[in-house]
Amino acid sequence: MMDKQFISIIESNDSNKKKIEKLESFIEEAKIAIDIVNGKYKQCPKCKDYYLSKSFLSEEEIKEEQICTWEDPINSGGNEYKLGKVKYIKTLCPKGHIISTDRYELGVI
């Protein structure tokens, strides 16, 4: 079954050249949609634009912070913390929006 949009283009009074141009625009959109599904393009959730996946930047930063070394199972405030190193990795879209921040504890100093 053919899509209604295609049928309306085929049955329109436009010239054959114009009809072909309109139909070819769907081909280009389909190629981009396939690339999005395959992971070639990625969407920024903040600006809603699509960019090449390799255009997204990653920034890495290591900080010294308190790390929880023991968690009190009954949550009575008896958690233990020690100074340690934490690595943060931020993913940024090409416009600079922070998409995600991942935190990895590297260990106690």
Q: Is the pLDDT of residue 62 over 90?
A: yes
The mean of the pLDDT values for the chain is 90
Give the H/E segment covering residue 37.
helix 16-38
Confidence band of 70 (pLDDT split at 50, 70, 90): confident
Q: Is the pLDDT of residue 104 over 90?
A: yes
Q: How far apart are CA 107 and CA 41, in angstroms?
A: 35
- Taking residues 65-79, report their average pLDDT: 84
pLDDT digits (tens, 9 = 90+) for 22-44: 999 889 889 989 999 999 999 99
Predicted local confidence at residue 50, as pLDDT? 92
CB 69 within 8 A of CB 108: yes
| Nearest C-alpha neighbor of 92 from the set 81, 80, 100 | 100
Is the whole-model pTM more than 0.85? no
Predicted local confidence at residue 6, as pLDDT? 87
Q: How far apart are CA 26 and CA 23, in angstroms?
A: 5
Q: Is the pLDDT of residue 55 over 90?
A: yes
